[in-house]
Structure 1
């Protein structure tokens, strides 16, 4: 990098001559280096899934990349997960505050826009780096089933199915090939399992896969039991044969 470019590289609030914010781009690169996370929306509900590979002897009781925001809203994260925890805490506080003020559950898009606005602020003011995580935010509200993606730039976009993290391009192509809006939650889970295993070259079985869901009828966020994921693994393997590495 030329000396004149290094100034733009270090200043998060200054655009380079070619219209780039380098530190924001680096934050997006951090997301691309995280393990895969994905979300799937169908008429029956929302599925979140993540590839979580614990170290040896690590105790893992709860998912580290899947979060509950409210009864009807969940999140999957990829990138710098400590940043995700901070955003999750902020989203939880915002959701509960909205319920107290307006006496009704906050919409999924309202929470998503709030989180995206927080990300955008870190691209505008000096003294703090951009957020190094992308979030898949989904849930069931008065508007139906919704699924959104936020990124470090402050952008948020609605999706039917989306993947973030390492090899997300391959998983996105896999989702485009097999996704159907009328899929059941069980079929969505199998698609999520196959998507993660397709890019998890050094992981076997289902121990590294974490899944959560929100059903359209109950509007309740819940973590899918690991035994159920194990049972679905065989069906997923048969339904979606392994793609070429």
Structure 2
């Protein structure tokens, strides 16, 4: 342990002399060790894609890293997934409360801010630890297409395309080079699968990939079936063979 960190990482409410909260930094490191998750906005919708590493005998029909918050909002997580489930329950309650109280669907940014506020509270009270998970919220509301990232510190930021988890730095560079504001939903799906293959140990097959789409017309989250993911995967392989 570095001398500067000695003693200052034992309590979440204690700042180090150089102004750092080590417990929050440890939580962010947990996110970096999680499997990849990413979100990409397109002209006609937004997608969420994750890599899920399953064991040979594990039943993998249920997606562990993509959650539906409301009809029009989805969430992808990287890090300590049990923490994500707690925040998902909170976000679902917030979204349904908004429907009951105001008789309208909740904004994507409103959910992102609420989750960020919840995460921030866990950085300032003794006897608790920060959430060890980062979340990508995606959806389509009255303001258009929204894509936001929240992290254990309580920060939330809007993005056109974002990646979190192991290999996210490499994927972010890839997105910066290949993302365009006029990208279609189909091309965004291809870009997402291409990004996962880039950092995954499995360079073939799609059983480790999960993908959800929220298009601008229906404003409804749809989990993409394996057959459709395989079609996009073939486009990635064709693209690589031509280059």
For 2:151 and 2:172, the matched residues in 1 are separated by: 16
For 2:148 and 2:166, the matched residues in 1 are separated by: 19
Partner of 2:38: 38
* 1:103-122 superposed matches below 5 A: 103-122=103-122
For 1:71 and 1:210, the matched residues in 2 are separated by: 18
Partner of 1:59: 59
Flag the 1:191–1:12 CA change in 2: closer, same or farther, 3 A.
same
Flag the 1:78–1:2 CA change in 2: closer, same or farther, 3 A.
closer
* 1:194-233 superposed matches below 5 A: 194-202=194-202, 204-233=204-233
Q: Is 2:10 the counterpart of 1:19?
A: no
For 1:33 and 1:3, the matched residues in 2 are separated by: 24
Task: Name structure 1 gaps, 5 residues minimum.
Answer: none
Partner of 1:144: 144
Q: Deviations over 1:157-191 (max 9, x none)?
A: 00000000001000001111111121111111111
Q: Deviations over 1:48-92 (max 9, x none)?
A: 000001111100112110010000100010000000011001000
How many pairs were matched up? 243
Q: In angstroms, what is the RMSD of aligned CA positions?
A: 1.5
**Alpha-carbon offset, residue 240 of structure 1:** 5.2
**Alpha-carbon offset, residue 205 of structure 1:** 1.3
**Alpha-carbon offset, residue 2 of structure 1:** 6.0
Partner of 2:158: 158
Flag the 1:4–1:134 CA change in 2: closer, same or farther, 3 A.
closer
TM-score (norm 1): 0.96
Task: Name structure 2 gaps, 5 residues minimum.
Answer: none
SS in 2 for 1:10: coil
SS in 2 for 1:173: helix
SS in 1 for 2:229: helix
TM-score (norm 2): 0.96
Partner of 2:77: 77
